[in-house]
Structure 1
Amino acid sequence: MQNTDDIGRVLVIIPTYNERENIESIVARVRAAVPEAEILVADDNSPDGTGEIADRLAAADERVHVMHRAGKEGLGAAYIAGFHWGMEHGFDVLVEMDADGSHQPEELARLLSALGGADLVIGSRWVRGGTVENWPVNREVLSRGANIYARLMLGIPVRDSTGGYRVYRATTLQKIEIDGVASQGYCFQVDLTLRTVRAGLRVTEVPIRFVERTHGASKMSRAIMIEAFQRIAGWGAAYWLGRLTGRERH
């Protein structure tokens, strides 16, 4: 069991859209893995009733909370709303976690422990000790390639900048101006990583076991991949132009 007294109050933010098959299990696993932590389910008005299930869980457990959002606005918008909710309610540490079980709650204690020497901890698939299960070869090649592309284009020393299992200090989110983040999908994760590095803050990667979902549909789409490619290209052009002219820019 992880004692969170040394890092303050912890909020695990779990965005949902049509996750009725997964939400009860993931909430139960988080509560068992780190009992001191609280949970915020940020539901984008799921038509399958995920929000109603989350309400039932919250009614039975005072450490579970639910944010009902008007509709499906994307992963980035859901997390930013969750970050604001957490900071407004006095949480010191904000955790990103998928609802589908790909992020193992049982590994959360290790990520929280690593926060002692960092401002952002990323659960990484692509550092030594990290693993991916049940992914086809083309998906692994795509993810590895995207992270190499981001690392080279942006000049950031992070091997899994697209990873979505993360632990932020509230002070980190305040310093990187999250209200200026327009990215969605997996590009949102790269954007926040870049902002953290550019702010001179400490990023630590901890190896995790990533398991592809067994219930429900993946939210990955062609549009998400195109957005990431285009935004990283733009940020990269600004970065390298800044390096050449002596005026580094984000």
Structure 2
Amino acid sequence: MSGRIAVLIPCYNESVTVGKVVDDFRHVLPEADVYVYDNNSTDGTGEVASAYGAIVRREPRQGKGNVVRQMFRDIEADYYIMVDGDDTYPAEVAYELLAPLMDGSADMTVGDRLSNGSYGEENTRAFHGFGNDLVRWLIKVIYGFAFDDVMTGYRAFTRAFVKTMPVLSTGFQIETEISIHAVDRGWRVVDVPIEYRDRPEGSVSKLSTFGDGAKVLRAIASLCKDYRPFVFFGLLSLVFFAFGLAVGLPVVGEFCLTSHVTKVPTAVLAVGLICCGMLSLTAAVILDTVAKAHRKQWEMDVYRVIQERDRCR
């Protein structure tokens, strides 16, 4: 396979499993550089990874999003595989993830745990499946793209994708951010079904179902505001208009019948809500224009990265 390959493994207290993960990927992809970024582990994760032949670096800012941001900044390669260090994803399918990138049919591939049912069979944590389905549904409604698996930690990317990905998240919402970025920017995405296996005994998940779930939902709202401001503020405008009409129509009806307004505070509230709706609609139009300008600039950044890659070849 032509091109430099980097395997990115963000880790926090994964000493039980990281050695096997590094060993598996070095066996399957002997030509690849395997990087482990140790995120303040206290159980010797970095030392174990180094003993198994990984290139170990430290990231002091806590949170998976912070780790991924630094990985994307630091590491130079033509193709990237990102995988969790918990030994839940099979290294054997690495070539299947890379193939669509190398033949030019995809910019990001996603290790899909859900289509074949392996995630539901192995993962017994309550509400995780529901949360994944909810995020998939929200992305489909807002962006019109149906992912098979949004929250998977097993993905592969081209260099152009990685070097133009503005990572804003600090924690586990990074997978959602990457997925939304890929859809909004029109990257080609291919789902690759994989066999998921649950964590081995002694390995503990750091994911909080409700705490991190709430962060993911906030991230979706924030990214919608940034990437699709017309949708975000347009919906907000409709809410204000709806409440304004609900409050104001009885006042208008009373005035038409009696030529008097007895509920002055209600009338003021209705006017205020309608004004807020108009302001939100104005913000939607202005920010949509700004977002389109940013998207044009981003497209030029992608061209620059691709031209740099071609020159290096």
| TM-score bracket, shorter-length normalisation | 0.7 to 0.9
Please, which runs of 5 or more residues in structure 1 have no aligned partner?
59-63
Match of 2:212 in 1: 224
The more displaced of 181-190 and 29-38 is: 181-190
Query: TM-score of the superposition, structure 1-length normalised?
Result: 0.83
Q: Distance in 1 between matches of 2:147 and 2:87?
A: 24
Tell me the SS of whatever aligns to 2:95: helix
Q: Distance in 1 between matches of 2:13 and 2:222?
A: 33
Q: Is the 8 A contact 1:96 1:164 kept in 2?
A: yes
State whether structure 2 residue 85 is matched by structure 1 residue 99. Answer: yes
Q: Distance in 2 between matches of 1:167 and 1:40?
A: 14
Match of 1:67 in 2: 57
Deviation by residue 1:172-224 (Cα, 9 ceiling, x = unmatched)? 12233x2xx22133421121222222222211111111222123211111331
Counterparts of 1:82-93 in structure 2, within 5 Å, are: 82-87=71-76, 91-93=77-79
Q: Please give the root-mean-square deviation of Cα atoms over the aligned residues, in Å.
A: 2.3
Please, which runs of 5 or more residues in structure 2 have no aligned partner?
235-283, 296-313
The more displaced of 217-226 and 143-152 is: 143-152
Change (3 A) 1:34 1:24: same
Counterparts of 1:128-167 in structure 2, within 5 Å, are: 129=116, 131-132=118-119, 133-136=121-124, 138-167=127-156
Higher relative contact order (CA 8 A, sep 6+): 1
Report deviation, 1:240. 7.1
Change (3 A) 1:149 1:197: closer
Q: Is the 8 A contact 1:187 1:231 kept in 2?
A: yes
Q: Distance in 1 between matches of 2:225 and 2:49?
A: 43
2:38 to 27, 40, 43: 43
Q: Distance in 1 between matches of 2:129 and 2:147?
A: 17
Q: Distance in 1 between matches of 2:128 and 2:150?
A: 16
Deviation by residue 1:91-140 (Cα, 9 ceiling, x = unmatched)? 1111110111111111111111122211111111234x463142126332
Counterparts of 1:93-242 in structure 2, within 5 Å, are: 93-115=79-101, 116=103, 117-127=105-115, 129=116, 131-132=118-119, 133-136=121-124, 138-176=127-165, 178=166, 181-214=167-200, 215-221=202-208, 222-236=210-224, 239=228, 241-242=230-231
Tell me the SS of whatever aligns to 2:196: strand
The more displaced of 37-46 and 149-158 is: 149-158
Q: Is the 8 A contact 1:153 1:232 kept in 2?
A: no
Q: Distance in 2 between matches of 1:51 and 1:220?
A: 20
Identity of aligned residues (%): 26
Q: Is the 8 A contact 1:126 1:144 kept in 2?
A: no
Report deviation, 1:39. 0.3
Deviation by residue 1:19-78 (Cα, 9 ceiling, x = unmatched)? 1111111111111122222200100121111112222233xxxxx31112225x111111
More helix by share: 2
Match of 1:61 in 2: none
Q: Distance in 1 between matches of 2:192 and 2:216?
A: 23
More strand by share: 1
Pair member with larger Rg: 2
Match of 2:48 in 1: 53
1:23 to 6, 18, 29: 18
Change (3 A) 1:154 1:29: same
Change (3 A) 1:242 1:144: closer
Query: TM-score of the superposition, structure 2-length normalised?
Result: 0.67
